[in-house]
Amino acid sequence: MISVKNLSHSYNEDGNFAVKNISFEVVNGETFGFLGPSGAGKSTTQGILTGLLKLQDGEVLVAGYDIKKVQNERFNKIGVSFEQSNVYGKLTARENLEYYAKLFDVPTRDPMELIHLVGLDGKENVRASEFSKGMKHRLTFARSMLNNPELWFLDEPTTGLDPAIAATIKDIIREKAAQGTTSFLTTHNMFIADELCDRVAFIIDGEIKLIDAPKSLKLQYGQKLIDIEYIDDGKIVKETLKTVDELERKRIGEIVNNYEIQTMHSKEATLEEIFIQVTGRELVYNETIK
C-alpha cells in the first residue's frame, strides 16, 4: 500500500535534512506505526505521503500512485486525521461532514452515522466553534472516515484526549483494521503504538533505526520484570526483579514467603524503554532502569 525508497527532505534545501534517506513499506491491511519524539521527522514523512509536502528526493508510491505525479484522484482512497483539529468553526458538525463528503468522487458514509460513531450525537447541529478540544478532534477523526479510505493516515489520534474518548478512538481503529483498512499511524505515545500497531518504525533525527512488530521487539530487547512492594520493619520497600534471572527468582520467593506484600506487578519492557535502548540513549535508559 505504501512503498518508500530513499526518501529525503530538507526544508531549507541547505543540507540539513528533516528526513534522511529512509525506506520502508506498508503492506495492505497493516497498521503501521511511525514512532519518534518531536522533531524526529514523523510529520515530515506523513506530509510527503499525503502530498502536503512536495517530494524532493526518493521514490514514493501511495495507494498505487506515484506521488511525483499530481493525481488528485488518489485522495479518494486516502483519509487523513490531523493532529490539530481543522474544521470550519462557523459550520455545524453535520455541515462540516456534508461539505467534505461532496469533495470526493466515491460513495461516502452517512455523516450522521459517523457523528454517532464518535459519540457526538445531539451535537450535529452545533457549530464546531462551540466544541471542546476533544469534540473537535472527534469531528476531525470522523471526517477522515467519510470516504471509506483504503489507506488511513492517523496523526496522534488520541493525544490530549480523555481516556474514555481515547478508548473509543482506539476501538474504531481496531475495527477498521479488522475490516482490512491499512493505517499509517504517527505518534510519540508508545502505549498507543503498542496497542494498535502490527509493526512500528522507530525514527529519530530523520533516520529510521529499526522496523519490527512490537511483540518481536519486546522479545528481542525486553526483560521480564516484577515490581514488589513489601513491608520490612514498618517501612515500605520496593524492589524490581528479573524473572529470567535465577538468583532474582529466588529472591522473589524469599520476599513472598517472609514479608507482608503490599503490591506486586509483573512488568514487561515497554516500547518506550526499547526505543530508548535502540536509539542509542543507553545512559539515560540504564539510569532509569536502575
Partner 1 sequence: MKLLSNYLKEMKIAARGFYFYIEIAMAVILVGILLLVVSETSTSNIKQFIYNDMPQKIAEYLKDKSIEDGDARLANPTEFELKPAEFVITNQETGETTAYDFDDEKIIELETIEMLDSSTGERDETVYYVETEEDMIRLAYSEREVGATVAMDAHGKVSTKYYLQGYETDRLESLLYISHSKSPAVINAKKDRQVVRTLGVMETLNNRENLVPIFLVYLGSLMGYFIVMAYIFYDKAEGVIRAFAVTPSSMWKYLVSKIFVILTTVVVSSSIITIPVMGGQPNYLLFYIFLIITTFALASLGLLVASFFDSISKAFGVMYAIMISLMIPAFSYYIPSFDPLWLRFFPSYPLLQGFKEILLNGDTGYVLTYSFVFLAGGLVLFVLADMRFKKTLTV
For partner 1, the closer CB: 86 or 216: 86
Instruction: Give least dist CB 72 to partner 1, A.
Output: 5
Strands 260-267 and 207-212: unpaired
Restricting to residues 91-120, which ones interact with partner 1 according to CB under 8 A?
91, 95, 99-100, 102-105
The answer to whether the beta carbons of residues 1 and 150 sit under 8 Å apart is: yes
First to last CA, the chain: 42
Does position 24 interact with partner 1 (CB under 8 A)? The reply is: no
Does position 150 interact with partner 1 (CB under 8 A)? The reply is: no
Instruction: Give least dist CB 106 to partner 1, A.
Output: 9
Does position 86 interact with partner 1 (CB under 8 A)? The reply is: yes
For partner 1, the closer CB: 81 or 277: 81
Restricting to residues 45-84, which ones interact with partner 1 according to CB under 8 A?
46-47, 50-54, 72-76, 78, 80, 82, 84
Instruction: Give least dist CB 104 to partner 1, A.
Output: 6
**Which three cell numbers mark 134?**
476533544
Among 23, 88, 268, 284, binds partner 1 (CB under 8 A): 88
Does position 90 interact with partner 1 (CB under 8 A)? The reply is: yes
Among 2, 32, 35, 44, binds partner 1 (CB under 8 A): 44
Instruction: Give least dist CB 255 to partner 1, A.
Output: 51
Restricting to residues 257-276, which ones interact with partner 1 according to CB under 8 A?
none
Which residues form the interface with partner 1 (CB under 8 A)?
A: 43-44, 46-47, 50-54, 72-76, 78, 80, 82, 84-91, 95, 99-100, 102-105, 127, 140, 143, 153
